[in-house]
Amino acid sequence: MHARHFAQLVFLSAVWGASFPLIRIAAPAFGPVTMACLRCALAAAVLGLLMRITRKAWPARVHWRSITVLALLTLVAPFILFNWAGLVLPAGYSAVLNATAPLFGVLAGAVFGEERLTMRRLAGCAVGLAGVALLVRLGPVKPDWPVLLAVLACITASAAYGFGAIFMKRATMAHQPLPASAAVHIAGALVLLLPAAAAAPAMQVRTEAVIALLVLGTLTSGFMYWISMRLMREIPASAATSSAFMIPMFGVTWGALFLGEPVTAGMVPGVGLVLLACALVTGFNPLRLLRSR
């Protein structure tokens, strides 16, 4: 992996880590479903404008069914679930739980015949579940039913990301990154349009919630999705998933800095086990990555 690829991974992790505090700010104002729709629509508008400027060709009609499936897995389901969890969980919790996505990515590879499920990977899954349980038990939030359901929502969203990575990799082979990214967000916005209209709360939106939504839609969704698809064309999928390992560090940091969320010593073992699980399941070795720069 070249140094520029590693720098892009760190940049992606830092920006995506910031999405969790932004969700905490915006989700109470807009509601989980409406916020997901607006986020997709903003990203679609930005990417659509870039499509017009660059005069790229849109994907053919025959590909829009697979694009919609990709939107459901990597946008619609995760956005709604993380938005809902953001009403309950600190941003750092959601960021750490998001790091389980590579676990599900490897499981998805085994299901679709693209990865072999070894004992090391099975052990990694067990360690990951233990890490999540430890985080919930020892973290600063009381593990009541709303918290447990929010944790389950984050894990389900991460599973959608993991399985969606299979379809995302295929999309990068079939389409240019910009047209694919724009089309996916258009599909996501259209899927969410009616549910968002039905679920829209009576909003009295503060300025910070609007700013958070704008950043989520244009930057963390629009531009970052495009960059991630470009990166996935240039490096192996296993290396591309390594950005998820760094997201918890940034998510916890941004949550503590901007929202004043507590970082307790009890969170450290859980975070460590989740990251160890990801390394076991994917075979990712940060030392080897640094040596290959």
pLDDT tens-digit map of 196-219: 988 877 667 889 999 999 999 999
Domain map (residue ranges) of the chain: 3-291
Quick one: angle between helices 101-111 and 267-282, nearest 10?
30
Residue 143: the pLDDT is 75
The confidence score (pLDDT) of residue 254 equals: 87
Ranking 38-42, 55-59, 93-97 by mean pLDDT, the lowest is: 93-97
C-beta of residue 44 within 8 angstroms of C-beta of residue 186: yes
What residue type is assigned to position 180 of the chain? A
pLDDT of residue 291 exceeding 60, the answer is no
- State yes or no: pLDDT of 289 exceeds 60: no
Greatest mean pLDDT range, 33-47, 119-133, 170-184, 269-283: 33-47
Closest CA to 22 of 157, 220, 223: 220
Angle at 37 between CA 32 and CA 41, to 5 degrees: 145
**What distance in Å separates the CA atoms of residue 255 and residue 87, rounded to the nearest whole number?**
14
151 neighbors 136 (Cβ within 8 angstroms)? yes
Residue with tokens 């915006």: 26
Angstrom distance (rounded) from CA 133 to CA 266: 12
Angle at 242 between CA 10 and CA 240, to 5 degrees: 90
8 Å CB contact between 229 and 8 = no
Fill in the DSSP letter of residue 122: H
Stated length of the chain:
293
Q: Please report which confidence band the pLDDT of residue 106 belongs to, taking 50, 70 and 90 as the band edges.
A: confident
Q: Give the pLDDT confidence of 214-250 residue by residue, as tens digits.
A: 999 999 999 999 988 888 777 656 556 667 767 877 8
Question: Are 33 and 196 in contact, with CB atoms under 8 Å apart?
Answer: yes
From the list 100, 68, 94, the residue with the least C-alpha distance to 81 is 94
- CA nearest neighbour of 247 among 145, 88, 95, 61: 95
Closest by CA position to 271, among listed 289, 239, 242, 245: 245
At 195, the pLDDT band (50, 70, 90 cuts) reads: very high
The DSSP call for residue 223 is I
